[in-house]
Amino acid sequence: MGTILSEYVALILLIRKEPLNLFIYTVLINGVTNPLLNYCYLILDIPLILLETGVVCTEMILIYLLAKVDLRYAGICSVCANGFSTLTGLLWHIRH
């Protein structure tokens, strides 16, 4: 839930339209990418930077298609949202 919340906050600040739709998009996008990332990281031991790169590219395309923003801007949104959620997650694990 932390990933969805942090990425939603980032997207709402960056895209600033249709908050309910952005929340639904965030849930749908992360419903696919987050479990896959966690499986590949925790079970297959694939480096996090490689996985995050794949997630950013995948989410960029999905943000572009769903939120109907420019592809470059979707890339910026994806980098910011994933960077924010990754940093939030790392800080959470450091503190606990």
pLDDT in tens, 4-35: 999 999 999 999 999 999 999 999 999 999 99
In the prediction, which pLDDT does 96 show? 75
The residue count of the chain comes to 96
Position 3, amino acid: T
How does DSSP classify residue 43?
Answer: T
In the prediction, which pLDDT does 90 show? 85
Position 45, amino acid: D
Helix (H) or strand (E) holding 65: helix 48-67
In the prediction, which pLDDT does 89 show? 84
Q: What are the residue ranges spanned by the domains of the chain? A: 2-95
pLDDT in tens, 44-90: 999 989 999 999 999 999 999 999 999 999 999 999 999 999 888 88
